[in-house]
Amino acid sequence: MGMVHGGALMTFADIALGVAVVDAIGAPNCSTAQLQYHFAAGVKVGSLLVCVPEVVRRTRRMVFTRGLFRVGDETVGSADAIYNVFEQRLG
């Protein structure tokens, strides 16, 4: 089997950290402002990749997150992200 492409790992990081933001604010009204992924090791296709997310700080309009990405006991990467939070609009 081959290795997972770095862009796919970053997409997974964006989704996983975004879900942590949605859980923290209680509504899905956010967008990614910045995402940095730090590659520590390759990930083989078919591996179970797990994210351990953390919401670090929240302001009225932004949420700051970070996460560790693991395959088994090995940390394969880490990420830091900032998300914009929007007010919910009806109609």
Residue 12: is its pLDDT beyond 90? yes
Q: Is residue 90 part of a domain?
A: no
Q: Is residue 33 part of a domain?
A: yes
Q: Is residue 10 part of a domain?
A: yes
The three-state DSSP-derived secondary structure of 5-47 is CHHHHHHHHHHHHHHHHHHHHCCCCEEEEEEEEEECCCCECCC
List the CATH number of the domain containing 10: 3.10.129.10
The count of domains in the chain is: 1
Q: What is the pLDDT of residue 90?
A: 62
Residue 88: is its pLDDT beyond 80? no
Dist. CA 90–CA 23, nearest whole Å? 20
Question: Shortest CA distance to 81 belongs to which of 27, 19, 23?
Answer: 19
Q: What is the pLDDT of residue 62?
A: 94
Using pLDDT thresholds of 50, 70 and 90, give the confidence band for residue 87.
confident
pLDDT in tens, 23-77: 988 877 899 999 999 999 999 999 999 999 999 999 989 999 999 999 999 999 9
pTM above 0.85, yes or no: yes
Range of the domain at 38: 6-85
